[in-house]
Structure 1
């Protein structure tokens, strides 16, 4: 019962409570750019997608850590989750600065990602780490795409996305070091399709 309460509290905090960051916000030293209404709307929509992705990552790693058998794998997942919490804080504050809001679908994506994380852990630690590595690679690619489409003068948003990108690739490398298995081709393909649906929904809502 205690374990259930702790995990349920994590879920509530991730979806509804303001996140905090131990590290300084990457954009703290930068001035706000003079963005047009359309540029501000687009930047906010991209940051909402990124925030939603971090909510999903929290749920995914929570589920994976719950079912991980190897202590080293569990620690890697928990470390990744901690940095994803910081990403939540960075994107949440940036959304507020841009005058926008978090995705209203976050509770739905959290629940689905938690189930996927539990399932990944059940099949074994090498596959669990493989799922972590593939997730981070896809997120890294997704963030690189955002860097290409964010307004050039929006240095604050770009600084946040650049640091997130570096962190995600570091998580993928760590998973590989710990013995991540290469996932069968259909699995990454399915992951990309699910990600596209989430991205389109979060961009608008």
Structure 2
């Protein structure tokens, strides 16, 4: 397999950004788990709350796409770069599922997604440039943060929102796998103070995208 030229890489990353940020542009490889769950009617408050939570999760997947793309740009070992690309492809399913659920809830994806994509891409590229060990460690730490959000959202979704809950359960399983794989591949375990800082930063995203 030939290695990508700088132009090939640029085109690939622009294509990924467009698929991530343009509504309905991406397609999933797996069936949406919500299709097997029962549909329930919500009151106005429940519908807005469920949509807000799913919008947070959708933006989280936007950030994941950007993070993996940025890291693949600067990863030093070819196998690490390939692992980043594979993980990004798996996250596309989550992205599409969350977007489809938002449409079912008569809501929209976050207007702030382009900003968070740009920030996450830059962070990913920086992490990759520092070194593959730290880049993989950052993946694991990020996925652990995502898992915390998913567990929390599973608890506070409207009680009868079986369709959103079905999506988040599969997402949680996948994210836990990604975190484990990153550590098994040689990722560094970040100290607790760093992870606490990541938690505070993630609150900016969750509070803003819940409504916007």
Counterpart contact for 2:140–2:180, Cα < 8 Å: yes
Indicate the residue corresponding to 2:71 in structure 1.
Answer: 64
Please report the TM-score for the alignment, with normalisation by the length of structure 2: 0.93
Indicate the residue corresponding to 1:149 in structure 2.
Answer: 156
Q: Does 2:121 match 1:114?
A: yes
Counterpart contact for 2:71–2:125, Cα < 8 Å: yes
Of 30, 36, 43 in structure 1, the residue corresponding to residue 37 of structure 2 is 30
Distance 2:30 2:169 in 1: 15
Counterpart contact for 2:65–2:91, Cα < 8 Å: yes
Of 108, 133, 139 in structure 2, the residue corresponding to residue 101 of structure 1 is 108
- Runs of 4+ residues deviating >3 angstroms: none
Please report the TM-score for the alignment, with normalisation by the length of structure 1: 0.96
Indicate the residue corresponding to 1:193 in structure 2.
Answer: 200
- Name the SS for the 2:90 alignment partner: helix
Give the C-alpha shift of residue 185 in structure 1.
Answer: 3.8
Of 9, 23, 41 in structure 2, the residue corresponding to residue 3 of structure 1 is 9
Distance 2:106 2:43 in 1: 13
1:169-202 residue CA offsets vs partner (Å, 9 max, x unmatched): 0000101111111124443222212110000000
Of 144, 158, 171 in structure 2, the residue corresponding to residue 164 of structure 1 is 171
Give the C-alpha shift of residue 17 in structure 1.
Answer: 4.1
Q: Number of paired residues?
A: 205
Counterpart contact for 1:61–1:117, Cα < 8 Å: yes
Indicate the residue corresponding to 2:96 in structure 1.
Answer: 89
Give the C-alpha shift of residue 31 in structure 1.
Answer: 2.3
Indicate the residue corresponding to 1:16 in structure 2.
Answer: 22
Distance 1:5 1:130 in 2: 27
Counterpart contact for 2:28–2:96, Cα < 8 Å: yes
RMSD: 1.1
- Name the SS for the 1:42 alignment partner: helix
Q: Does 2:133 match 1:126?
A: yes
Counterpart contact for 1:76–1:174, Cα < 8 Å: no
Distance 1:90 1:17 in 2: 12
Distance 1:34 1:13 in 2: 31
Give the C-alpha shift of residue 6 in structure 1.
Answer: 2.2
Indicate the residue corresponding to 1:177 in structure 2.
Answer: 184
Give the C-alpha shift of residue 111 in structure 1.
Answer: 0.2
Distance 2:141 2:148 in 1: 11
